[in-house]
Chain A
Amino acid sequence: MSTNAAGISIRGVTKRYGSTIALNGVDLDVRPGEVLGIAGPNGAGKSTLIRVIAGEERSDGGELTFDGVPWSPTVDWHAVAVVHQEPQLFPNLTVAQNVMVGREGTSAARPSLSAADARVMDALGIGHLRDRQLADCSLATQQRTEIARAVARDSRVFLFDEPNSALTAAESDELFREMHKIAATGRIVLLVTHRLGDLVEHCKRVAIVRDGRVRAVLEGEALTEDGLARQLVTDSGGAHGHAGARNAAATQAGPELFSARGWTHAKAFRGISMDGKAGEIIALVGVEGSGSRELLRSFAGLERCTGTISIGGMSGEAALRRQTAYVPATRLLSLYSNFSVGENLLVRLGYPEIAGFGLALKRRRMREMARAAVSRFLVKTRTTTQEIRSLSGGNQQKVAIAQALHCGPKLLLLEEPTRGVDIHSKAEIYRLLRDYADEGNTVIIFCTEVLEVYEAADRVHVVAGGTLSPSLQVAEYGHVEQLATDITRLEQEGRSEARAA
């Protein structure tokens, strides 16, 4: 009884968004003094669970208890501190002011730094920076400030959400040392990360969230990178077309469609050579700050680069402008909330597709095109005149992709095309991409999940330290774990090469 009562107990917690079930009865115990890892594929409910624990979202059902007492994080939000990937602080205030913020209390006077605050900041190694404006501090310092604020507030639960994705190796070691110190004081610590190595190294137990539930909790012997990788992958029955056979066919078939030589960006990468054949889907993998996102965006002409490039018989600026279309990672950057579904589908088109003489819109044609697009791109919507917001996340994502496909790019560029998308839509999106490649185009996807590489791509390049690895043929892998291992190896090689150079 005593072991069960201490810490947070989550029982049967559910959460739905419209028709989508994000959490479907989560059971989880978090004990004080341990570091509990949480892992799961994107869109599996992991981030919803975190938001519920952090009090940013109210659960629909189930119950939470803290030390045996019913607990509502939305009310008791002070108890939970989240250390974000991107610190959510006030960049215009100093480090010390950020630590004190929210503690103005009832007096009109500005709060002053207490001795206890100073001790906390010193312990975290940011004491000497206290009067520095936060905007001028490194990301590592900003995260420490976030931790200091939480410690000073006496938060009892610390939630580290992908905390080291943009830190150097040394900085993240430091961060994890602080994390363990916090756990040692008997506080509750949760670590959410995509990096399996970190989970194995730093967590006592790791909960795997899949399809809105905690599917497994690994600990002790069972807690290995391999074991985690397998848990993350073995799920979601049906959605898995490892596209082996089609891959093989595609690699033989297509003529060269895309090539970049000496492709160099002022900050993110240099001297990259890359090719693509018609019919190919190529994945780019790389951690935040590796240059992979910038590389993808540069092919869309959104980053200024030097080098030579040719796409579908055109070269230079013209090729980037006329032959490519880019789909950003978040739908906030591709959909127009003031537009209907149909308008969103057609918004990238212009003269002569949807407008004729005098730039008058061809309204009947637009209606027909919108209806055709809805059925071709498998968008589930009652009408084309519905508000875009009324669609589910997966269907919104299909609209975002369809928008770009309508331009008929020879080179389609997508950033995390299935982020926050349900399994069914995911499979449909992969099918759409495959069909589009089969029509004689090249598709490049920036992925953060190995599973996505495995399910969707023919080849994968790893970007690390601003250079591009040789590609791996996905069809040669019988298991996603092997692919994950090789990608990790290429990542490490790339980073050490970059350091040597």
Chain B
Amino acid sequence: MSSSDTTQPPPGHGISAVGKATLDAALRVGGLFAAVIAVALVFVFINPNFANPNLAVSVLRAMSSVAIMAMGLTLVIVVGEIDLSFGAMYGLAANTLAVVWIAMGVSVYLAIPIAIGVGILVGLFNGFLVTSFKIPSFIVTLGSYNLLYGLSLWISNTGTFNPNYPPPGGVVDQGELNFFIGLTQNIGKYSLSIEIFWMLGIAVVVGFLLHRSLFGFRLMAIGGNPEAGKLARLPVKRYKILAFILCSVLASIAGILDFSFIQTSQPDIGLSQTFPVFAAVIIGGASLAGGKGTIIGTLGGALLLAELQIGLALLSPGPHVQQIFLGAVTIGAVALDLFLTKLRKSRTA
């Protein structure tokens, strides 16, 4: 609609998280949600029974912990770093909570902050090693992935926990159990899990942080040109550490919420989430080079993946199809994005 020779900025275009970049992001997000709808239509076409609100609700539930982690990862990727440890952090938080609460008998109201506190420490650890010792974040977090998984195995003594069946000698207070299960219980006619609302609430907060706050503005700047940020004396180190902390904390929250929903913890939960979460962020339009990424895009990526996962699980003869689709969609989304960007550039140049 907007012609190329306007002299005034088009109305509604601000300057933060803005300008051409916003238009790019808007197109990207628009395309993503068009894909979500198209895929839904294909599924309904194949099997009309899929047009059913309960299925939509389960898609939303299935995406929520992935989306919560993916939002944290988006922050780290925007600032130009990478975090491979969030999946292990998800597991460590759930296991910490399980051990502290169920085995050690500490109140759940204290055990949850402890589990989140572990997330803060891990983020601090990652961020500190990356910024102060200049170790590439890929290596630091590859290390902490294994480290955290090791810790999960150690503290849980490789065991599983379920608050409904505490180990011999352990007692779980019924009120605390109700509170914990209530964190993600299903409500309403369509049995909407509260976890979905956690995801939406977190999306509002993280979306504000990334797109409407000074924090996000500088995060984008640092990711776009870290060297310039340093010379302009932006707080590069502090912001990178904060991004790592937020990523770990969000992974902890996802782990705790999923534990509440599934009610069973295992030492290795979360590890297999690592790559689907990455896929969601990348499909959502974030660039591994830093300086680019949106929360709404990441949510769209998580939604598309969850939709494919559930739809294919109901249709397909085996899990291989889901994996193949996950791979194809990840590469396809980025390839399409690059192609369209190039096309637009060559048209405007």
Q: Is B213 an interface residue (CB 8 A)?
A: yes
Q: Is A360 an interface residue (CB 8 A)?
A: yes
* Smallest CB gap from B209: residue in A: A359
Is A301 touching B19 in the complex (CB atoms < 8 A)? no
Is A363 touching B220 in the complex (CB atoms < 8 A)? no
* Smallest CB gap from B227: residue in A: A333
Task: Please give, as numbers and ranges, the residues of chain A lying within 8 Å of B6 by CB-CB distance.
Answer: 382-383
Question: How many contacting A-B pairs (Cβ < 8 A)?
Answer: 126
Q: Is A271 an interface residue (CB 8 A)?
A: no
Q: How far is the CB of B255 from chain A (nearest CB, A)?
A: 28
Q: How far is the CA of A337 from the CA of B220 in the complex (A)?
A: 11
19 residue pairs of the A-B complex, CB under 8 angstroms, read A302-B231, A326-B232, A332-B227, A338-B220, A338-B225, A339-B220, A343-B221, A346-B15, A347-B221, A347-B234, A348-B234, A358-B213, A359-B215, A361-B16, A367-B14, A367-B15, A383-B6, A383-B9, A385-B19
Q: Using an 8 Å CB-CB cutoff, how does the interface string of A322-359 with B read, 1 for contact, 0 for none?
A: 00011010001111111111110011101100110011
Q: How far is the CA of A361 from the CA of B213 in the complex (A)?
A: 5
Q: How far is the CA of A360 from the CA of B205 in the complex (A)?
A: 12
Q: Using an 8 Å CB-CB cutoff, how does the interface string of A279-318 with B read, 1 for contact, 0 for none?
A: 0000000000000000000001110000000000000000
Is B225 touching A387 in the complex (CB atoms < 8 A)? no
Is B232 touching A348 in the complex (CB atoms < 8 A)? yes
Q: How far is the CB of A183 from chain B (nearest CB, A)?
A: 40
Give the interface centre of A332, A340, A387 by most chain B CB atoms within 10 Å: A340
CB contacts under 8 Å to A, within B1-56, are 6-10, 13-16, 18-22
Q: Is A21 an interface residue (CB 8 A)?
A: no
Partner of B15, one of A325, A343, A387, A403: A343
Is A385 touching B220 in the complex (CB atoms < 8 A)? no
Q: Is A384 an interface residue (CB 8 A)?
A: yes
Q: How far is the CB of A375 from chain B (nearest CB, A)?
A: 13
Is A385 touching B20 in the complex (CB atoms < 8 A)? yes
Is A339 touching B212 in the complex (CB atoms < 8 A)? no
Task: Please give, as numbers and ranges, the residues of chain B lying within 8 Å of A347 by CB-CB distance.
Answer: 217-218, 221, 232, 234
Q: Is B240 an interface residue (CB 8 A)?
A: no
Instruction: Count residues of chain A with CB under 8 A from any CB of chain B.
Output: 43
Q: How far is the CA of A339 from the CA of B20 in the complex (A)?
A: 8
Task: Please give, as numbers and ranges, the residues of chain B lying within 8 Å of A333 by CB-CB distance.
Answer: 225, 227-228, 231
Is B208 touching A360 in the complex (CB atoms < 8 A)? yes
Is B291 touching A338 in the complex (CB atoms < 8 A)? yes
Binding site for B on A (CB under 8 A): 300-302, 321, 325-326, 328, 332-343, 346-348, 350-351, 354-355, 358-361, 363-364, 366-367, 370, 382-387, 403-404
Is A385 touching B292 in the complex (CB atoms < 8 A)? no
Q: How far is the CA of A399 from the CA of B19 in the complex (A)?
A: 16
Task: Please give, as numbers and ranges, the residues of chain B lying within 8 Å of A361 by CB-CB distance.
Answer: 16, 212-214, 217
* Smallest CB gap from A358: residue in B: B213
Closest 7 CB pairs of A and B: A340-B19, A385-B19, A342-B15, A355-B214, A338-B291, A338-B224, A336-B224
Q: How far is the CB of A90 from chain B (nearest CB, A)?
A: 21
* Smallest CB gap from B9: residue in A: A383
Task: Please give, as numbers and ranges, the residues of chain B lying within 8 Å of A364 by CB-CB distance.
Answer: 14
* Smallest CB gap from A384: residue in B: B15
Report if A360-B212 is in contact (Cβ < 8 Å); known contacts: A333-B227, A334-B228, A335-B225: yes
Q: How far is the CA of A350 from the CA of B222 in the complex (A)?
A: 14
Partner of B19, one of A325, A342, A359: A342
Q: How far is the CB of B347 from chain A (nearest CB, A)?
A: 14
Q: Using an 8 Å CB-CB cutoff, how does the interface string of B217-246 with A read, 1 for contact, 0 for none?
A: 110110111011001111000000000000
Give the interface centre of B6, B9, B214 by most chain A CB atoms within 10 Å: B214
Q: How far is the CB of B218 from chain A (nearest CB, A)?
A: 8
Partner of A359, one of B7, B10, B21, B213: B213
Is A339 touching B232 in the complex (CB atoms < 8 A)? no
Task: Please give, as numbers and ranges, the residues of chain A lying within 8 Å of B21 by CB-CB distance.
Answer: 338-340, 387
Is B232 touching A385 in the complex (CB atoms < 8 A)? no
Task: Please give, as numbers and ranges, the residues of chain B lying within 8 Å of A359 by CB-CB distance.
Answer: 213-215
Task: Please give, as numbers and ranges, the residues of chain A lying within 8 Å of B7 by CB-CB distance.
Answer: 382-383
Is A340 touching B18 in the complex (CB atoms < 8 A)? yes
Task: Please give, as numbers and ranges, the residues of chain A lying within 8 Å of B231 by CB-CB distance.
Answer: 300, 302, 326, 328, 333-334
Q: How far is the CA of A347 from the CA of B291 in the complex (A)?
A: 13
Is B225 touching A384 in the complex (CB atoms < 8 A)? no
Report if A354-B233 is in contact (Cβ < 8 Å); known contacts: A336-B221, A367-B15, A382-B7: no
Q: How far is the CA of A385 from the CA of B13 in the complex (A)?
A: 7
Task: Please give, as numbers and ranges, the residues of chain A lying within 8 Å of B15 by CB-CB distance.
Answer: 340, 342-343, 346, 363, 366-367, 370, 384-385
Task: Please give, as numbers and ranges, the residues of chain A lying within 8 Å of B227 by CB-CB distance.
Answer: 332-333
Is B213 touching A340 in the complex (CB atoms < 8 A)? no
* Smallest CB gap from B13: residue in A: A385
Q: How far is the CB of B62 from chain A (nearest CB, A)?
A: 32
* Smallest CB gap from B293: residue in A: A338
Task: Please give, as numbers and ranges, the residues of chain A lying within 8 Å of B213 by CB-CB distance.
Answer: 355, 358-361
Q: How far is the CA of A328 from the CA of B233 in the complex (A)?
A: 12
Is B20 touching A334 in the complex (CB atoms < 8 A)? no
* Smallest CB gap from A328: residue in B: B231
Q: How far is the CA of A358 from the CA of B227 in the complex (A)?
A: 27
Q: Using an 8 Å CB-CB cutoff, how does the interface string of B283-298 with A read, 1 for contact, 0 for none?
A: 0000000011000000
Q: How far is the CA of A367 from the CA of B10 in the complex (A)?
A: 12
Is A386 touching B214 in the complex (CB atoms < 8 A)? no
Is A366 touching B16 in the complex (CB atoms < 8 A)? yes
Q: How far is the CA of A265 from the CA of B209 in the complex (A)?
A: 40
Q: How far is the CA of A336 from the CA of B212 in the complex (A)?
A: 18
Q: How far is the CB of B334 from chain A (nearest CB, A)?
A: 17
Task: Please give, as numbers and ranges, the residues of chain B lying within 8 Å of A358 by CB-CB distance.
Answer: 213
Q: How far is the CB of A479 from chain B (nearest CB, A)?
A: 36
Task: Please give, as numbers and ranges, the residues of chain B lying within 8 Å of A339 by CB-CB distance.
Answer: 19, 21, 220-221, 224
Task: Please give, as numbers and ranges, the residues of chain B lying within 8 Å of A337 by CB-CB distance.
Answer: 224-225, 291
Q: How far is the CA of A351 from the CA of B233 in the complex (A)?
A: 14
Task: Please give, as numbers and ranges, the residues of chain A lying within 8 Å of B291 by CB-CB distance.
Answer: 336-338
Q: How far is the CA of A343 from the CA of B291 in the complex (A)?
A: 13
Is B233 touching A301 in the complex (CB atoms < 8 A)? yes
Q: How far is the CA of A359 from the CA of B235 in the complex (A)?
A: 15
Task: Please give, as numbers and ranges, the residues of chain B lying within 8 Å of A336 by CB-CB distance.
Answer: 220-221, 224-225, 228, 291
* Smallest CB gap from B7: residue in A: A382
* Smallest CB gap from A355: residue in B: B214
Is B217 touching A342 in the complex (CB atoms < 8 A)? no
Q: How far is the CA of A468 from the CA of B15 in the complex (A)?
A: 44
* Smallest CB gap from A336: residue in B: B224
Task: Please give, as numbers and ranges, the residues of chain A lying within 8 Å of B233 by CB-CB distance.
Answer: 301, 321, 348
Q: How far is the CA of A343 from the CA of B6 in the complex (A)?
A: 20
Is A386 touching B19 in the complex (CB atoms < 8 A)? yes
Task: Please give, as numbers and ranges, the residues of chain A lying within 8 Å of B292 by CB-CB distance.
Answer: 338
Is A384 touching B19 in the complex (CB atoms < 8 A)? yes
Task: Please give, as numbers and ranges, the residues of chain A lying within 8 Å of B224 by CB-CB distance.
Answer: 336-339
